[in-house]
């Protein structure tokens, strides 16, 4: 693994590379354990490199020390301008003396894709060759300046005895046992891709708005052809949307997507050759749920949108990762909102933001959206960089308005096409078009932690004054926080329920600031932080009646939902802390939302959902209470039963009314199914699972099959159905992931670890496949009361499996170790058990740099 002493890289140390690259030619002779990679690269001194002395005569200089990254490569030969050279091995690569003038580098290396279990660089998955180069995987393919600010055009020849040979760009030549590809667009090495295998394609075509015809393909393993149509449509919709919304057209003759079973992340935006985790592209009604369809649509869009935000314009260095990721997430969110429902999408976004990013921002792994240092960049593909990064774009747009936002984007694309740039470059375009200084706004990129926004109200003589105070708690390495620019979208609702002041964006820039609304007849109720206009925690004095009032009358769907959520949380917290009975304000309010058929069923489902156990644990900590996971679990279960009782007269009708006809994975169908299945969850607590069992038998789609099974499992039933499910789907990897995951997710707290352990012995379990590993252990860590069971069994089990996985796949191990990030929330016994496991992981010989960094940071809490 990574034996070199871990080195910290700092943003402030950025220096351009000494050379630029004119062109790259690569030849791959594929072999499972001995692939040969030949490279021919034309380098020229970089005029922008500070220390590069002006080129005088080549004789005058001794040459320059020329460094290339390389890891796990066997060097066969190297030459400069045709003369053989012997490079020195140095940490992370090789070094050689090179001319301070243009020269040609040629090298040949040997690599072993079959034994590459880290799934980084060139590796094999089910007999297929594929690559993953972001962030720093290209250095496992050949010696190269593997950094995003070195952009070059690539010509790639792939030789191998396989029917399909793909790389980036346009096809140039194809013959017996070889294919040549040329990518005319300069790109950094992290966007390189190669795929070779026995694959079949689902073809498509798209004509761009300027009339260029583009060939589209989704490449899959034989047998999966029937699961590509939805992804293909999502791709075409994305291409059209980017033209309509951002004026961005596709720029090659061909766009290929490949589905791979073994993949560390969701998907990768390699130029013209996107590689997808098969779970993020393959879809059929029999095997995929509505949630899968929605996610697939969003990820296809995300990767496609990277073509402009990431590929044509890329990041100068990895500290700028949010430049491409925050922006591209924002773009895919807007796309999904346009395709489905903005209101529902926004609530879902906030749910994940709070569950993942707020959690991260509140613990030992907190870091700025643009970090200032890292040990292993793969550890920074985080909720903060992605989701908070997207929130920043949304705030920027809110502050400058839609028109200036679009103009700023146009200017950015025009000015920086073909460049590797920074957040400063991005913001400069908006400063220019909007004529405003964004210096304070920029703090969103550098200041970690979630701002707390306290609000108080004053009513006097027809004037409502809202006073806000912002504070951000300290985060690792940042004790002092400055006030940020916070757009607070606010509206006012009159006592009769009518909106008296429509949404206005209050722009807060000070630590404490007041805003007044004058000339009001009667005291209105303020609806604050509409559409979740900033990633902050709003704290306001508000009673349950006012919440119920806003839940009934607010015109802003996010705030309407938020009020129901606040009622639910308040109810649960007092059940946990004071053992009180649930408030009727909450139960009645939910009942009227459910019965209101003018509301979108998807919205009603979201309103019926209870805060997660993890969310409740954090709320208890915020209230100064040490969370007891079992108590949280019990209270939530109790409330589910009470809800079922309170709603029992409306449940059967809701179940019936929301039946859908033929399965269509659109917003309307999925909304109805989600409501129907949420209702089924409650019904199953009352009818011994009769309705759910009947649906399970009848279901002709995975949404209802998995949904009815989950309703049963959540009611402590479903053993027969689980068995039947396995028998039916044992040959379908992706569906079997659901089978593994569901049981662990719904296991009782005292059974979860035992079950996960048993499943890890199942013949179909393997830690070579990240999806399968996550299905079992991701589900275990998401089962809050199970993971934190007082026995500590789950902590031990997870640590055992992380230690074993680290030797194979550091990236996934490091990611999964994040499950421990909240450890200091809990009581002393649990903390001691977790600390012991973290220390045991850290003491593992040859632990990867990835996991070492993560565990060290977590332990430093």
- Least distance in Å: CB of 783 to ligand 0A1? 26
The closest of 315, 320, 394 to 353, measured between CA atoms, is 394
Q: Which residues contact 774 (CB under 8 A, 6 or more apart)?
A: 812, 816
Shortest Å distance, C-beta 275 to Zn ion: 13
Q: Point out which span in 267-275, 390-398, 587-595, 770-778 binds ligand 0A1 (CB under 6 A).
A: 267-275
Residue number with CB closer to ligand 0A1 (239 or 300)? 300
**Bridge partners (DSSP) listed for residue 10:** 373
Rounded least distance, CB 302 to Zn ion, Å: 6
Smallest distance from Zn ion to CB 386, Å: 7
Q: Residue 283 binds which entry of ligand 0A1, Zn ion, none, with Cβ cut-offs from 5 to 8 Å by kind?
A: none
With respect to ligand 0A1, which residue has the nearer C-beta, 381 or 765? Answer: 381
Give 38's strand partners: 27, 108
The mark string for 803-842 relative to Zn ion (x by CB under 5 A, - otherwise) is: ----------------------------------------
267 binds ligand 0A1 (CB under 6 A): yes
Contact between 278 and ligand 0A1 by CB under 6 A: the answer reads no
Task: Return the residue nearest ligand 0A1 (CB atom).
Answer: 265
Instruction: Pick one of ligand 0A1, Zn ion, none as the site partner of residue 264 (Cβ within 5 to 8 A by kind).
Output: ligand 0A1
73, interface contact from Zn ion, ligand 0A1, none, CB < 5-8 Å by kind? none
Q: In the structure encoding, which two tokens stand for residue 731, read together? A: 């040959």
Please tell me whether residue 39 binds ligand 0A1 under the rule CB under 6 A.
Answer: no
- Contact mark string toward ligand 0A1, 765..804, x via CB under 6 A: ----------------------------------------
- C-alpha distances out from residue 593 to 5, 350, 647, Å: 58, 20, 11
Part in contact with ligand 0A1 (CB under 6 A); list of ranges 128-136, 362-370, 505-513, 567-575: 128-136
Distance between CA atoms of 484 and 445, rounded to whole angstroms?
11
Set 71, 303, 391, 837: catalytic member: 303
Number of residues engaging ligand 0A1 in binding (CB under 6 A): 15
Which one of the spans 319-327, 443-451, 672-680, 825-833 is the region binding Zn ion (CB under 5 A)?
Answer: 319-327
Peptide bond before 625: cis, by omega within 30 degrees of 0? Answer: no
What is 625-665 written as a DSSP string? ----HHHHHHHHHHHHHHHHHHTTTTHHHHHHHT--SS---
Stretch that binds ligand 0A1, among 129-137, 207-215, 441-449, 762-770 (CB under 6 A): 129-137
To the nearest 10 degrees (0 to 180), the angle between helices 321-339 and 342-352 is 140
Options 80-88, 260-268, 343-351, 438-446: segment touching ligand 0A1 (CB under 6 A): 260-268
Residues with Cβ within 8 Å of residue 247, at least 6 apart in sequence: 410
Q: Which does 171 bind (CB under 5 to 8 A by kind): ligand 0A1, Zn ion, none?
A: none
- For the chain, first and last CA: distance in Å? 27
> Could you tell which of Zn ion, ligand 0A1, none binds residue 500, using a CB distance below 5 to 8 A set by kind?
none
Residues 6+ apart with CB under 8 A from 70: 92, 93, 94, 109, 139, 142, 143, 144
Q: Does 265 bind ligand 0A1 (CB under 6 A)?
A: yes
Regarding 381 and contact with ligand 0A1 (CB under 6 A), the answer is yes
Cβ(196)–Cβ(229) under 8 Å? no
Element housing 502 (H / E):
strand 499-508
One of 378, 691, 703, 771 touching ligand 0A1 (CB under 6 A): 378
DSSP state of 475: B
829 sits in which H/E element = helix 828-842
Report helix, strand or coil for 233.
helix
Q: Least distance in Å: CB of 381 to Zn ion?
A: 9
Total residues at interface with Zn ion (CB under 5 A): 2
Least separation in angstroms between residue 342's CB and ligand 0A1 is 22
DSSP 331-362: HHHHHHHHHS-HHHHHHHHHHHIIIIIIHHHT
CA distance linking residue 302 with residue 311, whole number of Å: 12
Residue 161 CB burial class (10 angstroms; 0-12, 13-18, ≥19)? exposed
SS3 861: coil
Does 264 help bind ligand 0A1 (rule: CB under 6 A)?
yes
Find the shortest distance in angstroms from Cβ 700 to ligand 0A1.
32
Q: Is 134 in the site for ligand 0A1 (CB under 6 A)?
A: yes
Q: Of 92 and 494, which has the nearer Cβ to ligand 0A1?
A: 92
Contact letters for ligand 0A1, residues 301-340 (x by CB under 6 A):
-xx---------------------x---------------
Give the C-alpha separation, 127 to 197, whole Å.
7
CA distances from 147 to 80, 135, 324, 421, 749 (A): 21, 8, 15, 13, 46
> How far apart, in Å, are the Cα atoms of 632 and each of 50, 262, 541, 568, 861?
58, 36, 24, 13, 24
Which range binds Zn ion by CB under 5 A, 123-131, 132-140, 326-334, 512-520?
326-334
Out of 132, 217, 527, 760, name the contact with ligand 0A1 by CB under 6 A.
132
Of 390 and 488, CB closest to Zn ion? 390
CA distance 602 to 343: 10
Restricted to residues 799-818, the positions that interact with ligand 0A1 (CB under 6 A) are 811
> Burial level of 578, CB count in 10 A (0-12/13-18/19+)?
exposed
Q: Which stretch binds ligand 0A1 (CB under 6 A): 25-33, 261-269, 425-433, 467-475?
A: 261-269
Is residue 308 within 8 Å of 274, Cβ to Cβ?
no
Burial 276-298 (b: 16+ CB within 10 A, else e): bbbbbbbbbbbbbbbbbbbbbbb
134 binds, among Zn ion, ligand 0A1, none (CB under 5 to 8 A by kind): ligand 0A1
Note if 303 is an active site residue.
yes
- When CB distances are held under 5 to 8 angstroms depending on the partner's kind, the choice from ligand 0A1, Zn ion, none that residue 378 binds is ligand 0A1
Tell me the three state secondary structure of residue 736.
helix
Report, in Å, the least distance between residue 824 CB and ligand 0A1: 28
Minimum distance, C-beta of residue 325 to Zn ion, in the bound complex (Å): 5
Which residue(s) pair with 456 in the sheet? 467
User: Does residue 269 belong to the site contacting ligand 0A1 (CB under 6 A)?
Assistant: yes
Contact region for ligand 0A1 (CB under 6 A) — 266-274, 596-604, 648-656, 696-704?
A: 266-274
User: With CB cut-offs between 5 and 8 Å by kind, which of Zn ion, ligand 0A1, none does residue 71 bind?
Assistant: none
CB of 134 to ligand 0A1, least distance (A): 4
Binding site for ligand 0A1 (CB under 6 A): 132, 134-135, 264-269, 302-303, 325, 378, 381, 811
Binding site for Zn ion (CB under 5 A): 325, 328
Q: Which residues are identified as catalytic?
A: 303
């Amino acid at each position: 693994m990574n034996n070199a002493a871990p080195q910290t890289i700092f943003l402030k140390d950025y220096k351009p590379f000494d050379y630029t690259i004119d062109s790259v030619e690569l030849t791959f002779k594929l072999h499972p354990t001995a692939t040969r990679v030949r490279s021919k690269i034309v380098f020229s001194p970089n005029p922008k490199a500070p220390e590069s002395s002006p080129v005088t005569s080549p004789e005058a200089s001794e040459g320059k020390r020329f460094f290339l990254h390389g890891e796990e490569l066997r060097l066969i030969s190297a030459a400069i301008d045709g003369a053989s050279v012997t490079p020195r091995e140095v940490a992370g690569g090789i070094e050689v003396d090179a001319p301070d003038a243009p020269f040609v580098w040629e090298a040949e290396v040997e690599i072993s894709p079959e034994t590459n279990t880290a799934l980084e660089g060139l590796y094999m998955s089910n007999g297929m060759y594929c690559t993953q180069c972001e962030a720093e995987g290209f250095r496992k393919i050949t010696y190269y300046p593997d950094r995003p600010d070195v952009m070059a055009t690539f010509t790639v020849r792939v030789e191998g005895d396989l029917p399909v040979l793909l790389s980036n760009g346009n096809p140039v030549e194809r013959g017996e046992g070889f294919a040549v590809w040329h990518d005319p667009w300069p790109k950094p090495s992290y966007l390189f891709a190669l795929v070779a295998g026995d694959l079949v394609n689902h073809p498509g075509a798209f004509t761009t708005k300027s009339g260029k015809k583009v060939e589209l393909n989704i490449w899959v393993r034989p047998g999966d052809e029937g699961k590509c149509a939805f992804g293909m449509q999502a791709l075409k919709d994305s291409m059209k949307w980017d033209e309509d919304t951002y004026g961005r057209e596709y720029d090659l003759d061909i766009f290929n997507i490949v589905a791979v079973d073994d993949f560390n992340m969701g998907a990768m935006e390699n130029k013209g050759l996107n590689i997808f985790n098969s779970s993020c592209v393959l879809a059929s009604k029999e095997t995929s749920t509505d949630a899968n369809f929605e996610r697939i649509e969003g990820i296809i869009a995300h990767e496609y949108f990277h073509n402009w935000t990431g590929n044509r314009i890329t990041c100068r260095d990895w500290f700028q990762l949010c430049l491409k990721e925050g922006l591209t997430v924002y773009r895919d969110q807007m796309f999904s909102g346009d395709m489905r429902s903005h209101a529902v999408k926004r609530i879902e976004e906030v749910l994940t933001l709070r569950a993942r990013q707020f959690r991260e921002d509140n613990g030992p792994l907190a870091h700025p959206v643009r970090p200032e240092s890292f040990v292993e960049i793969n550890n920074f593909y985080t909720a903060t960089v992605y989701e908070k990064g997207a929130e920043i774009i949304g705030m920027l747009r809110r502050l400058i308005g839609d028109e200036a936002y679009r103009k700023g984007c146009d200017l950015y694309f025009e000015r920086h096409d073909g460049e590797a740039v920074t957040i400063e470059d991005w913001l400069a375009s908006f400063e220019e078009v909007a004529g405003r200084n964004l210096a304070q706004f920029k703090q969103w990129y550098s200041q970690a932690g979630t701002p707390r926004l306290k609000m108080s109200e004053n009513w006097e003589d027809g004037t409502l004054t809202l006073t806000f105070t912002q504070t951000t708690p300290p985060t690792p390495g940042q004790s002092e926080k400055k006030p940020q620019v916070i757009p607070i979208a606010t509206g006012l609702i009159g006592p009769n329920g009518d909106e008296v002041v429509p949404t206005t964006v209050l722009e807060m820039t000070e630590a404490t600031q007041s805003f007044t609304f004058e000339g009001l007849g009667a005291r209105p109720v303020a609806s604050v932080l509409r559409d979740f206009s900033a990633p902050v925690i709003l704290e306001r004095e508000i009673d349950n009646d006012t919440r119920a009032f806003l839940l009934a009358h607010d015109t802003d769907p996010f705030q309407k939902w938020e009020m129901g959520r606040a009622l639910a949380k308040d109810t649960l917290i007092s059940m946990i802390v004071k053992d009180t009975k649930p408030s009727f304000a909450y139960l009645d309010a939910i009942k009227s939302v459910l019965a209101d058929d003018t509301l979108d069923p998807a919205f009603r489902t979201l309103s019926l959902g209870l805060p997660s156990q993890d969310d409740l644990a954090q709320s208890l900590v915020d209230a100064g209470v040490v969370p007891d996971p079992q108590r949280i679990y019990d209270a939530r279960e109790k409330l589910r039963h009470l809800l079922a009782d309170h709603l029992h007269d409306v449940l059967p009708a809701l179940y019936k009314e929301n039946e859908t006809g033929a399965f269509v994975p659109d917003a309307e169908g999925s909304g109805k199914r989600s409501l129907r299945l949420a209702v089924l969850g409650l019904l199953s607590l009352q009818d011994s699972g009769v309705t759910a069992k009947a649906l399970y038998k009848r279901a002709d789609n995975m949404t209802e099959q998995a949904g009815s099974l989950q309703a049963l499992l959540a009611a402590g039933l479903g053993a027969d159905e689980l068995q039947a499910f396995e028998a039916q789907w044992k040959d379908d990897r992706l569906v079997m992931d659901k089978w593994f995951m569901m049981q662990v997710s719904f296991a009782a707290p005292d059974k979860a670890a035992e079950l996960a352990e048993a499943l890890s012995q199942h013949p179909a379990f393997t830690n070579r496949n990240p999806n399968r590993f996550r299905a079992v252990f991701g589900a275990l860590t998401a089962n809050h009361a199970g993971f934190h069971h007082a026995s500590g069994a789950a902590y031990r089990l997870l640590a055992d499996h992380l230690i074993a996985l680290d030797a194979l796949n550091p990236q996934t191990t490091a990611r999964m170790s994040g499950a421990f990030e909240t450890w200091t929330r809990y009581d002393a016994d649990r903390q001691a058990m977790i600390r012991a496991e973290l220390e045991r992981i850290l003491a593992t010989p040859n632990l990867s740099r990835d996991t070492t960094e993560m565990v060290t940071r977590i332990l430093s809490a």
